Amino acid sequence: MKTKLTYSLFLLMTACGGAVPVAVIPDDRQVISVQSSSPAAIPSVGAISTVCMPPAAIGPDAQPIPSGVGTGSVSVGGLDRTYTFSVPVSRPDALPLIFVFSDDHGTGAQIREALALEAPAEGRAIFVYPDGDPTALVAWDSTSAPDTNRDLLLFDVLLAKLKSQFCISSIFAAGYRRGAHFTNYLGCQRGDQLRAIAVEGGNFDDFNGEKSDDGVILCPTPAVSAFVIDDAVTGGSWVGAPDFKHWMNWNHPSDRGDYATLPVDPPGCLAAQHEPPGHEVLGCFIVDLGDTIWPLQAQMVWDFFYSAN
């Protein structure tokens, strides 16, 4: 029998003096059941008039702060790395920032259109879609050591730039296929900065990191909430999905042998049990998903991030 848990939402005052919705997780929670964040229940962006002024917008060298959809670039290791961004024209004091990483053969602009994460967000988040390294064999490096990983450095440089341009409440990352591999890697290496991740069709690659006695990779940063989407053929009841197994383990440091799950809606989804508050792990394993994008992923990913914000 499936048990549903509903997130109750309230407004948390941010350091900038504004309000962003966050979730309160009841102490007796049993199952994650992601609830749609209806615009009727949430203040519209336009209803919040105060605007936080980020560092780049202040002082004699103030720079124009972008809004709408556009492109940009940053220099990383002597290479210009490009990205697409989407920023609400009207913004409250702080918004979540969501990085989205494409597959090997796609661009940031293409994955923006394909995943359509902005539709359920309805102007309540800033999105950035980096382009993969055009000089590399694979678009996103999820195996190199952190101190030599150019894609990890791209994240650091781009995050620093965006923090100077915008007031940001929380940081999230999502990825599709090769981009999902990297998002898992990013969650391991930058768990002190990310609030949660969501991956579809990814894996948890072995980057020669430190491991526990039972082979679990020990990340150098704290655990992040994780939402894993995969084909039921490879994922099954999570046994064939190493990223789901990793995040179940890493989010539950007091008992990394606890693999208890419980079915949740929609069909094919499982919630990891006994995880500490704020460390939810959700997996959806869809029959015949193959290489296609799960039709429910946009709303599910947004609700997962929104509840964690």
- 169 pLDDT higher than 80: yes
Q: What is the mean pLDDT of residues 235-260?
A: 78
Catalogue the E-assigned strands of the chain: 8-13, 19-24, 68-76, 79-87, 95-101, 126-130, 168-176, 196-200, 225-231, 261-264, 269-272, 281-286
pLDDT score recorded for residue 209: 63
Q: What is the pLDDT of residue 50?
A: 46
Would you say residue 24 has pLDDT above 60?
A: no
- The candidate with the shortest Cα–Cα distance to 70, out of 89, 95, 54, is 89
The pLDDT score that the predictor gives to residue 242 is 86
| pLDDT for position 10 | 26
- What gap in Å lies between CA 176 and CA 107, rounded to an integer? 11
Query: For residue 260, which of 24, 30, 5, 28 has the smallest C-alpha distance?
Result: 30
Q: Which two tokens stand for residue 65?
A: 């702060």
This prediction's pTM: 0.81
The domain 8-44+67-308: what is its CATH number?
A: 3.40.50.1820
Q: How confident is the model at residue 213, as a pLDDT?
A: 56
* Identity of the highest mean pLDDT range in 45-49, 236-240, 263-267, 301-305: 301-305
Q: Is the pLDDT of residue 299 over 50?
A: yes
User: Is pLDDT at 122 greater than 60 in this prediction?
Assistant: yes
